[in-house]
Amino acid sequence: MTEPGISLLQGGATLSDDEITDLYAVDDRAVPWLRVNFVSSIDGAGTHDALTAGLGTPSDKRVFDILRRLCDVVLVGAGTVRAEGYGPMRLDEPAVRWRREHGLPDQPVFAIVSAGLELDPAHRIFAEAPVRPIVVTVEQAPGERRRALAEVADVLVAGAEHVDTARMRLLLTERGLTQVHSEGGPHLFGDFLREDTVDEVCLTLSPFAEGPGAGRITAGTPAGVQRPMALAHALSSDGTVLLRYVRPPVQAAMA
């Protein structure tokens, strides 16, 4: 399959994978950073027929893969893992080469956030993982499930009934996993926004209008706050727009 041409929204040459990677790279990997990546229809739907596949375009997939290569850990809510039928995450050869050249381990860690732990320890996601996965859960998670999952994954506890996303970030940073990349889903993103733990939002606008029905890319208890984000870049490819928003720099105190 030919690669979809991607360029800056305001024009310019088609970008190579390396150039796209540079556009998404952070200045200092030692600084903890949490990026989320979502796709949406132009009328705000987060799914088509309850899945993201129908919203995806070749350029969205290309950037989706590039974002995986940049991180230390890919973090996903259990609802998305179940709905999207995630399998074991394994980056392809070009991505592994790029990671080696940049002094990173071949594969990022895969991490799942879940309170109820309805996750099968025998699932391929654990059994065939190239790196031991992480499960982030809560003190009140069912003990038996927690013990079974601890056989196949590192289980981190980051809250009593609900995973506190700031605490989770701290636990990941303590393990050297500073660059966190979340592929969703909406409830987890809602928690990130409510708890103000997101540094970057990558949003693909797909050239489809879905009409009423599908949920948005955030869900859960309303935060009641608005988080301003600064546009870092906008790319386009055949009607798909790929936006990168980052947490705005803290304003210097007025003299």
CB neighbourhood size of 44 (10 A): 13
> Which of 30, 31, 42, 50 is the binder for ligand NAP (CB under 6 A)?
50
Question: Which structure tokens are listed for 147?
Answer: 């013990």
> Which of 5, 54, 58, 79 is the binder for ligand NAP (CB under 6 A)?
79
In DSSP terms, 246 is beta-bridged to 200, 230
Taking only Cα atoms into account, the Rg of the chain, rounded to an integer number of angstroms, comes to 18
Nearer to ligand NAP, 18 or 151 (CB): 151
Nearer to ligand NAP, 96 or 203 (CB): 203
Helix, strand, coil distribution of the chain in percent, nearest 5: 30, 20, 50
CB neighbourhood size of 128 (10 A): 11
Tell me, residue by residue from 183 to 202, as one string, x for binding to ligand NAP by CB under 6 A and - for no binding: xxxxxx--x-----------
Give the whole-angstrom CA distance, residue 226 versus residue 111. 28
**Per CB under 6 A, does 80 bind ligand NAP?**
yes
Q: Are strands 179-182 and 73-77 parallel, antiparallel or unpaired?
A: parallel
Q: How many residues bind ligand NAP (CB under 6 A)?
A: 30
> Which of 34, 39, 89, 201 is the binder for ligand NAP (CB under 6 A)?
39
> Which of 113, 125, 156, 205 is the binder for ligand NAP (CB under 6 A)?
113
40 and 217 in contact (C-beta within 8 Å)? yes
Give the whole-angstrom CA distance, residue 45 versus residue 238. 20
Nearer to ligand NAP, 29 or 146 (CB): 146
Nearer to ligand NAP, 30 or 209 (CB): 209
Binding site for ligand NAP (CB under 6 A): 38-40, 46-47, 50-52, 77-80, 83-84, 113-116, 118, 162-163, 183-188, 191, 217, 219
